[in-house]
């Protein structure tokens, strides 16, 4: 219905051909002596709803509203993946950390770079169609690099959230700004690196800033004009909670509750600067009209003395109503976190077995702790947690001024990297870090829009680091298989109906694995860190896999500026 048509015409013919037909719009591009016209039909809500069955487009950052990152096209599969080779490589203007998930709509690809640039590319050839370079404000405050994780396209607009905390709607055919809204004041520590999620006319976006003493939120904007519809504050005015002494797995967190209560009486509820960033996209349950998202660490990261209480809803899975933004349920993994082992990797909706073995709507999350947590979607309650995917030692040793060693290190486990699932196999795939660290605490007042860690995390240089890809049976919590990598992994993963999972490494390797056993089936060296989630799509009946190779700021992996699309010979 929304077939992609790309017609090579002469420049003269093109100038006369800038008309819309069949509801589609045209992109005009002049490269050297050739000119091209590309149809960009509007992305409808129906297309977004059915993205899980779409073997041609890649419409959501995490594949579909459930965020399963399971691509239903099986043309590239275990039998032929060894013949995968680059179809094209596009080099962006910005050579810096890349975390973008390419979005593909009828043969047009939208990718982003650090510093909030957007490119529209011909997904078949890699030719540039347009380039949006955000006019960045002078104040940007962020913790882990000037990253951007991508866009979402709805109707005729491309939606981008920027490093200087703006929400921008671009014309999908030209890249020109249609509207722009200020999300929050960057001088107070707010910034944006996530891709927005668009559903039923609303643009949903969270915020960074857990390292800056912000008050976190998820906001919904009107896709038509950028007007704010609702705000859900991730730190409620009563953030104290139930004084939980054990984490989600039942381990004692060694809280000094008496001291916290004394501090609460003195300083009151700390919700205004309590952090609680939402780094990644919410999952959308279209049947119940609810969204599910992860709330990050409390501020300051390592110093709990200034923020008595459980620090709700930091380190939590939270669900709110899509229409109103009203609270539905939450589950907190670590109350009063002082290790930054928070909840970042996006929530995934999938049917799971409950404790009695009955299949129910579930929601799963892979934590920095290294566990995959499995929840009942109805009330957010925890059904089970998986075996640890990374070494855990000395949990929960409190940070000290001199530094206390505890594993996992503060990056995880699973960082922001989205996981994938294969619902038929009942397996989740997560990429992990193993970075031994010491945790240091040092108390200081909030420095107004400056980094506020309350101490430091320090990698122990003498200890070996590594990474892994781990497949977990989420109906039992058991690890099915694990493949170790020489470096900690960050960036994301894609599973496909071809029986494959694709993931990249900081050393430039991009690999395809057999999703049933982790066997390496194909390797490509991208020349720069592959630390972004892969996507897949098809043009003219041919399936592609695409990934960004730009390295990573947080782990200082080799920088690059490549978008690389692969296809079969």
Segment lying near other proteins (by CB under 8 A), choices 80-88, 139-147, 279-287, 417-425: 139-147
* SS3 per residue for 73-128: CCCCCCCCHHHEEEEEEEECCCCCCCCCCCEEECCEEEEEEHHHEEEEEECCCCCE
Q: Which CB atom, from 228 or from 401, has the smaller least distance to other proteins?
A: 401
List 104, 121, 143, 380, residue binding other proteins (CB under 8 A): 143
Q: Which residue in the set 13, 445, 523, 542 belongs to the binding site for other proteins (CB under 8 A)?
A: 445
- Beta strands 478-485 and 466-473, pairing class: antiparallel
Residues in the chain: 569
Q: Scanning the structure block, which residue is given the tokens 């520590």?
A: 189
The CB-of-141 to other proteins minimum distance in angstroms stands at: 6
Return the residues of window 452-511 that contact other proteins according to CB under 8 A: 452-456, 458-459, 461
When asked if residue 78 is in the footprint of other proteins (CB under 8 A), the reply is no
- Site for other proteins (CB under 8 A): which residue of 58, 88, 90, 115? 115
Q: Which residues of 449-460 are buried (b: 16+ CB within 10 A; e: fewer)?
A: beebbbbbbebe
Confirm or reject binding of residue 403 to other proteins (CB under 8 A): yes
Q: How far is the CB of 553 from other proteins (least distance, A)?
A: 6
Task: Tell whether residue 138 is a contact of other proteins (CB under 8 A).
Answer: yes
Report the alpha-carbon distance of residue 550 to residue 566 in Å, rounded. Answer: 16
What's the closest the beta carbon of residue 562 comes to other proteins, in angstroms? 16
Contact call for residue 450 and other proteins (CB under 8 A): yes
Closer of 512 and 530 to other proteins (Cβ)? 530
Euclidean distance between CA atoms 354 and 298, whole angstroms: 30
Shortest separation between residue 142's beta carbon and other proteins, angstroms = 8
Q: Which residues are catalytic?
A: 340
CA distance 518 to 294: 28
Q: Footprint of other proteins on residues 199-238 (CB under 8 A)?
A: 211
- Determine the straight-line distance between the first and last CA of the chain, rounded to whole angstroms: 28
Cβ 350 vs Cβ 394: under 8 Å: no
Q: Provide the edge-to-edge strand list for the sheet that holds 25-31.
A: 6-9, 34-40, 25-31
The position carrying tokens 């609270």 is 327
**Residue 556 binds other proteins, judged by CB under 8 A:** yes
Q: Does 440 bind other proteins (CB under 8 A)?
A: yes
Q: Is 448 in the site for other proteins (CB under 8 A)?
A: yes
Give every CB contact of residue 177 below 8 A, 6+ residues apart in sequence: 132, 168, 169, 170, 171
When the beta carbons of 273 and 475 are compared against other proteins, the nearer one is 273
Cα–Cα distances in Å, from 48 out to 102, 230, 292, 296? 15, 22, 17, 27
Query: Which region among 333-341, 425-433, 436-444, 523-531 touches other proteins (by CB under 8 A)?
Result: 436-444
Identify whether the C-beta of residue 210 lies closer than 8 Å to the C-beta of residue 202.
no
Confirm or reject binding of residue 163 to other proteins (CB under 8 A): yes
Query: Using the rule CB under 8 A, is 444 a contact of other proteins?
Result: yes
- Using rule CB under 8 A, residue 528 touches other proteins: no
**Which residues would be at the binding site for other proteins (CB under 8 A)?**
96, 115, 136, 138-141, 143-146, 163-164, 211, 403, 438, 440, 442, 444-445, 447-456, 458-459, 461, 553-554, 556, 559
């Amino acid at each position: 219905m929304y077939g992609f048509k790309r017609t090579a015409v002469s420049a003269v013919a093109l100038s006369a051909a800038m008309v819309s037909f069949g509801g589609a719009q045209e992109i005009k591009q002049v490269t050297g002596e050739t000119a091209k016209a590309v149809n960009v039909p509007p992305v409808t809500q129906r297309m977004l709803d059915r993205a899980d069955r779409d073997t041609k487009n890649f419409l959501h950052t995490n594949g579909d509203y459930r965020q399963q990152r399971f691509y239903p096209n099986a043309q590239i599969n275990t039998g032929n993946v060894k013949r995968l080779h680059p179809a094209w490589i596009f080099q962006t203007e910005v050579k810096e950390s890349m975390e973008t998930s390419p979005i593909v709509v009828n043969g047009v690809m939208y990718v982003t770079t650090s510093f909030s640039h957007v490119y529209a590319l011909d997904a078949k050839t890699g030719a540039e169609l347009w380039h949006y370079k955000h006019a960045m404000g002078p104040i940007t405050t962020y913790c882990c690099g000037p990253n951007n994780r991508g866009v979402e396209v709805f109707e005729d607009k491309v939606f981008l959230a920027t490093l200087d905390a703006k929400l921008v709607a671009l014309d999908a055919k030209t890249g020109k700004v249609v509207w722009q809204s200020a999300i929050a004041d960057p001088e107070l520590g707010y910034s944006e690196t996530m891709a927005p999620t668009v559903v039923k006319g609303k643009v949903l976006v969270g915020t960074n800033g857990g390292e800056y003493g912000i008050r976190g939120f998820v906001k919904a904007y009107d896709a038509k004009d950028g007007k704010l519809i609702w705000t859900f504050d991730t730190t409620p005015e009563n953030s104290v909670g139930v004084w939980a002494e054990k984490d989600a797995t039942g381990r004692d967190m060694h809280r000094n509750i008496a001291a916290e209560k004394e501090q609460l009486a003195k300083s009151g509820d700390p919700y205004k600067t309590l952090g609680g960033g939402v780094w990644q996209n919410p999952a959308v349950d279209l049947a119940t009209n609810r969204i599910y998202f992860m709330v990050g660490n409390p501020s300051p990261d390592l110093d709990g003395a200034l923020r008595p209480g459980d620090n709700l809803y930091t380190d939590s899975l939270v669900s709110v109503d899509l229409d109103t933004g009203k609270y539905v349920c939450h589950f907190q993994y670590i109350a009063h976190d002082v290790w930054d082992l928070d909840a970042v990797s996006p929530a995934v909706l999938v049917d799971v077995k409950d404790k009695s073995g009955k299949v129910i709507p579930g929601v799963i999350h892979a934590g920095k702790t290294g566990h995959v947590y499995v929840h009942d979607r109805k009330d957010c309650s925890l059904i089970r947690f998986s075996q640890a995917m990374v070494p855990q030692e000395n949990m929960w040793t409190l940070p000290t001024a001199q530094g206390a060693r505890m594993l996992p290190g503060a990056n995880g486990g699973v960082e922001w990297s989205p996981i994938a699932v294969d619902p038929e196999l009942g397996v989740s795939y997560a990429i992990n870090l193993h970075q031994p660290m010491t945790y240091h605490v040092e108390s200081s007042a909030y420095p107004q829009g400056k980094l506020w860690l309350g101490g430091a995390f320090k990698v122990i240089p003498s200890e070996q680091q590594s990474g892994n890809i781990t497949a977990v049976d989420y109906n039992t919590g058991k690890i099915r298989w694990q493949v170790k990598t020489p470096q900690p992994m960050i960036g994301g993963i894609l599973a496909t109906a071809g029986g494959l999972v694709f993931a990249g490494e900081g050393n430039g390797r991009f690999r395809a694995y057999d999703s049933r056993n982790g066997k390496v089936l194909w390797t490509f060296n991208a020349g720069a860190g592959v630390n972004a989630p892969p996507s897949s799509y098809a043009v003219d009946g041919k399936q592609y896999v695409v990934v960004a190779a730009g390295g990573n700021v947080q782990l200082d992996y080799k920088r690059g500026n490549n978008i690389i699309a692969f296809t079969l010979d």
